[in-house]
Amino acid sequence: MAKTPKRKTLYFHIGTHKTATTYLQDLMDRNREILREQKIGYYGKCTSAKERRGDTIEQGFYEELKAFEDSPTLKALVISDEDLSHNDNNIFCNLICELQSKFDVKVICYLREVVSYYVSFYCFASIPLCSKEKAPPFRDFSEYLQLQKSYISIYRLLVNLVRIIPIENIIARPFHKKLFRDQKIENDFFDILSVDASSFETIKNKNISPTLKQAEKIYYALSLTSDPEIRQRAKIEILRDRESVESTLTKNELNAIHERYYDYEIKLHELFFNEAQQRILRRSYDAWNRKINYGESRILSEKEKKCIFDIVHADKKGVSFSMRLARKLRGTIEVIKKI
């Protein structure tokens, strides 16, 4: 009796956002040939946007899927797309239902502890706004938090996936360097894929978020001008100066995050993580409290605001508004002296 051929594996790496997803994508893209030598294909992002990010599966993905299915050498295909974690219009769950009859479908998802998840999101959100004319849709971190539903969306997606595929096929990992081999996420990720990455060409992580203080400075600069060219120039100047003492949240902001999301976080931890992993992540609340007690306030001082005002109103040669004003005053004084 002929053996049934082993089904090929699809790995859907769905982020989540702010868990070094872009870094891993760039690393796999740079080392496609080495992956293929180990019988693993890499596709990258499979979604595009009609109205919102991740709301459409690209036709090119289905073409790649057919080529993978017909390949005599490839045994697995990695699709890495953090926008799948939105599960907009149930798009990802429907895709899994469609594919699991043909393939062994596995989902890789890194979960960041919820406080640093939203802090990182808030900080990084300042960057794309610098290339646009519009004002931020929020005035501060508290307003930003009220608009956010992404963590709840991730929770609902993972709970739904458990009903669709075996829970052992959902590889949910805590995003914490202490839990990675040699404290490197790439080691953890490629161990999941059983890939030998020792000969990979290395790359730099380009997608680094500003600190909280830098983000507040950028948001203040955005409030002073709608000119994208000036905003970009101010952003570059602000990012050059990385403070030595880390600024942090307020106690009220920390409590607001926990009130909204802590129950969802605990349920996910209990569903997917072992006790040792949960114990490390449970320490995060105490760690944030310590940061609040010993960290620097991120509220901008008048001196810092003046500095950003000068950056925004500097001329194209980089001469600040204050300097130009001082020069003008000196010139006026010289004229008066001559009179």
The tokens describing 296, both together, are: 């620097």
- Residue 257 burial (CB count, 10 A): 23
User: What is the predicted pLDDT for the residue at 189?
Assistant: 98
Longest dimension (CA), the chain: 111
Query: In angstroms, rounded to a whole number, what is the distance separating the alpha carbons of residues 259 and 269?
Result: 17
- CATH class for domain 9-211+246-300? alpha beta
CA 140 – CA 299 distance, rounded (Å):
11
User: Which of 166, 163, 165, 185 shows the shortest CA–CA distance to 175?
Assistant: 185
pLDDT at 264 over 70: yes
Domain limits, the chain: 9-211+246-300
Q: What is the reported pLDDT for 297?
A: 77
Q: Could you tell me where the DSSP H helices lie in 273-301?
A: 275-282, 284-294
pLDDT digit string, tens, across residues 162-175: 999 999 999 999 99
pTM over 0.85: yes
Q: Order across the sheet with 104-111: list the strands.
A: 40-44, 76-80, 9-13, 104-111, 170-174
More confident residue, 327 or 57: 57
CA–CA dist 32, 44 (Å, integer)? 11
73-87 per-residue burial string, b: 16 or more CB within 10 A, e: under 16:
ebebbbbbbbbbbbb
In angstroms, the CA 149 to CA 117 distance is 12
pLDDT at 247: 79
Average pLDDT, the chain: 89
Q: What is the pLDDT of residues 82-134, one digit of tens each?
A: 999 988 779 999 999 999 999 999 999 999 999 999 999 999 999 999 999 99
Tokens representing 59?
């036709």
Q: Who wins on pLDDT, 64 or 314?
A: 64
